[in-house]
Structure 1
C-alpha cells in the first residue's frame, strides 16, 4: 500500500464491554472496588480514564487518528485516603492496555529526588526516573520539591528534569503527583509548566465514620479477627472521637488503631493459665479498645504536661 493511502477500515470493532473484560481491566477495577471502601468519585474517574483508553484502542483498530492521551495525574487529599493504592491499580490498568511496558509503581518523596549539594540532584532524579520507566512514578507531597524561600534549594533542578521527561517520554512513563489539595494548588500556581502537563486532577475525599467502620471490619476479616458486640460499638465511639483529634489519617489511623488493639488483646490472653479457644484467639473485646488514650484525654493531657516539665 502506498504511504499516502488511507488505511483500510473495517466495518465493526470489538465490542467495548468485551474488550473491557478480555483486557483484564474489569478484573483490576473490581479488585479496586473490593479493597477500597467508598471513594465513589475517585473510582468513577478511574473508570472514565479506562474507558478513554479502551475507546482509543478501538479507534486504532479502525485506522482512525489516534494519539496517546496525556496520562499524568494529580491526586489530592488527606493521608490515608487510598491515593497510593489507586496509583498501583492505575499502573496495572495502563499495563493491561499497553500504555506502559511494565506496569510497576515507583513511589518517592523529595528526599529520593533532591540532593544536598551541587551536582547531586540530577543523578538522583535520573536514577529514580530510570527505575520508573515503563510504569508509574508516584511523587508524594510533591510540593516539597519547590521551596522558593531558599534560593540555593536544588528542588527546581529536579522539577526541570521531570518536566522534560513528562513531555518527551510520556509514552513510557506516567507521573502522578500527590499531596494536600491546598498545597498542590499553590505548587501548580507557582509551576505553570508542571500544571500544563497534568491532564487529570482527582480529589480523594475523607472517609465518613460509617466507611471507617467498614474499613476496620474489612481489615479485621483479612487478619481473621472480629469484634464482639461490645467491641464493635466501642470502636465506633473510638472512631468518632479520634476523627476530631489532630493528625487523623483516615484508613491509616484505623490500621494503626487496630494494631494497638490487637496488642492489648494479645497481652490480655497471654496472662491466661488455661488453653485458649479459637474464638478467644480471634475475638476482640471492648476492654481491648477502652484502654486507648482517646478515651482518657485528661490522663493524656497530664502525661503531656509532665513531659514538658
Structure 2
C-alpha cells in the first residue's frame, strides 16, 4: 500500500503542518521508525553542474529515511519549458527521486506539495512518478470566518483578546482582500495579527499609561486603515448607468434587457438598505441563460459581471468561460480538481458555463459530469458571496441539467430566456458589423439581406448573431472577387457592399 501523497492547494493552508502530523502518526503506528519531517525545495535538490543534482537529492533523501520527505513547490523541478531553453537539472532530481522511492519504498514517505494545476506538470515529468503517488489531498483556501478563527487562536496563545466589534471588522478586512493564486491564507492571518499588535502598541503609546485590560485588547482601529472602513467603496458615479446603456444598445433582446435591469435595480436597493442598517432580503445572483446559440448570452454575462462590480457586489467582474472539457477529468478525483481550479479563477467575477447540460448526459452511468455538478454545488455554497455562476444552453436540456443534483435548481432563482433574432434584427447586426469594418450597405443591399435571412433555414443549430457574421464574411469575400475585375477601384467601390455580394441563403447555410 503506497503511503506517498500529493498535497495540492494554495500556500498557507497547512500542508507542512499536516505532513509533520502524518509522519508522527505513522511512527506511532509503527509504520515508520522515526517520523521526522525533512522539508526541502528545489534549491535543496538541484545543483548547478552535471552530476551534482543526483548527489544532493540522495543526501537529502537519506536524511528523511525513517520519516517524511516533504518537497514544497515540487512543480519547480519540472519547469514548463522542460529545460529545453537551457540546462535545467530539475529532471535529474525527479529521476533520482523516482529510483530512491523504489529502492527505499518501505523506509520513507514522500509528500510533494504545490498548486493544483502545476502539480500535473510535475507528475508528467517522469513516466513512473504518477504511479508512486496513490492519493492526492486538496487543501482548500480558508474562508474569511476561518481566518478570523486563526487570528483568535494567535490572540489566545499570546494573551490578547479580540473584542466583538474587532472580530466583525476583521472578517470584513479578510473579505476585502483579493483572493489571487498567491494569497497566503494562514500566513496572511499571522501577518494581520502581528500588524494589529504593532498598531496597538503605537495607539497605547500615544495615550500614556494603560491598564492590564487595555494592554490585552485589540480594537477595530488596530486594523490597517483600508479595512477600517466599508469593505467596498461606493461605485463610481454613472458607472452603472453607462453599463446599462451598453446593454440597452444591444440589438433585440428586449426581455433579457428588462430582466437584467430589474435584477440590478433590486441588488442596488438591497445594498442601500444594508448601508442604512435595515433588514434586506437575500437575493441569489446566479442565473440560467436559456436559448439557442448566437443570441448574445456571453456578451450579456460579461456586462452582468461588470455591472455587479460597479455596484460593489463583486470585486473583479472578470468573466471565466468554461465548457465540459474544462471541468470534467479523465479519472476519479480529477474532475473535482479541475472544477475547483476553474471556480478559483472566477473568484470575484462570473463563471460562465456554456452548454452546461453536457455535464448531465442522459446516460450518465460512467460519466464524471455528475462529479463536476456536485463539486460546483458545494463551491457555490461555500463561496456564495465571491462568485456569480451563469449556466447556459438550450431551454429543454437546461432543465435536465438542473435536475441532476437536488440542490442545484435552488441555487438558480432566476432564468433569462434569449429568443432567436428576427430577420430585421439580423439585418441590423449585419449592418453594425459591416459599419465597424468600414463597409457601407445601400438600401438594395439591406433589402437583399432581409430576404436572405427570411429564407435561411432557422433550425435548432441556426447560429443567429454568429450566422450574421458568417454572411458578412461571405459578402466581403464576394466583393473582393467582384473588385478584382475593376481597374483602379475607387474608395466608394471598396466600401460598398452591393446586393449581388449577398449570397443565397441556402449557399451560406450549407
2:323 and 2:354 in contact (8 A); partners too: yes
Say if 2:484 is the partner of 1:263.
Answer: no
User: In 2, Cα distance between the equivalents of 1:129 and 1:284?
Assistant: 45
Change (3 A) 1:21 1:212: farther
Offset from partner CA, 1:83-133 (integer Å, 9 cap, x none): 111000000001111111100001111011001222321221111111111
Q: Which has the higher helix share?
A: 1
User: In 1, Cα distance between the equivalents of 2:296 and 2:374?
Assistant: 28
1:100 and 1:172 in contact (8 A); partners too: yes
Say if 2:259 is the partner of 1:26.
Answer: no
Change (3 A) 1:196 1:153: same
2:335 and 2:372 in contact (8 A); partners too: yes
Residue 9 of structure 1 aligns with which residue? none
Secondary structure class of the residue paired with 1:192: coil
Change (3 A) 1:233 1:295: farther
Change (3 A) 1:244 1:159: closer
Change (3 A) 1:204 1:244: closer
- Deviation at residue 277 of structure 1 after TM alignment: 1.4
Residue 125 of structure 1 aligns with which residue? 339
User: In 2, Cα distance between the equivalents of 1:296 and 1:158?
Assistant: 38
Change (3 A) 1:148 1:294: closer
1:114 and 1:121 in contact (8 A); partners too: yes
User: In 2, Cα distance between the equivalents of 1:67 and 1:143?
Assistant: 30
- Deviation at residue 189 of structure 1 after TM alignment: 2.9
1:21 and 1:27 in contact (8 A); partners too: no
Say if 2:252 is the partner of 1:48.
Answer: no
- Deviation at residue 23 of structure 1 after TM alignment: 4.9
Give the TM-score normalised by the residue count of structure 1. Answer: 0.84
Change (3 A) 1:93 1:38: same
- Deviation at residue 45 of structure 1 after TM alignment: 0.7
Say if 2:396 is the partner of 1:191.
Answer: no
**Aligned with 1:277 (options 483, 486, 490):** 490
1:137 and 1:175 in contact (8 A); partners too: yes
Offset from partner CA, 1:51-80 (integer Å, 9 cap, x none): 011111211221112365221110000111
2:474 and 2:508 in contact (8 A); partners too: no
Residue 280 of structure 2 aligns with which residue? 66
Q: Between Structure 1 and Structure 2, how many residues are aligned?
A: 280
User: In 2, Cα distance between the equivalents of 1:135 and 1:67?
Assistant: 22
1:238 and 1:295 in contact (8 A); partners too: no
2:328 and 2:335 in contact (8 A); partners too: yes
Of 221-230 and 135-144, deviating more is: 221-230
Offset from partner CA, 1:249-293 (integer Å, 9 cap, x none): 111111111111111111221333x22211111101122114x46
User: In 1, Cα distance between the equivalents of 2:291 and 2:428?
Assistant: 20
Residue 289 of structure 1 aligns with which residue? 502
- Deviation at residue 144 of structure 1 after TM alignment: 0.6
- Deviation at residue 246 of structure 1 after TM alignment: 6.2
**Aligned with 1:251 (options 450, 465, 471):** 465
- Deviation at residue 50 of structure 1 after TM alignment: 0.7
Residue 209 of structure 1 aligns with which residue? 423
Shift >6 Å, 4+ stretches: none
Gaps of 5+ in 1: 4-18, 301-309
User: In 2, Cα distance between the equivalents of 1:216 and 1:197?
Assistant: 37
Offset from partner CA, 1:173-225 (integer Å, 9 cap, x none): 00000000011122223433110110211111111112111121111111121
User: In 2, Cα distance between the equivalents of 1:170 and 1:162?
Assistant: 11
1:88 and 1:104 in contact (8 A); partners too: yes
User: In 1, Cα distance between the equivalents of 2:266 and 2:505?
Assistant: 48
User: In 2, Cα distance between the equivalents of 1:28 and 1:296?
Assistant: 35
User: In 2, Cα distance between the equivalents of 1:245 and 1:126?
Assistant: 36
| Bigger relative contact order, structure 1 or 2 (CA pairs below 8 A, ≥6 apart) | 1
Residue 149 of structure 1 aligns with which residue? 363
Residue 6 of structure 1 aligns with which residue? none
Largest Rg, 1 or 2: 2
Say if 2:387 is the partner of 1:173.
Answer: yes
Secondary structure class of the residue paired with 1:22: coil
1:20 and 1:54 in contact (8 A); partners too: no
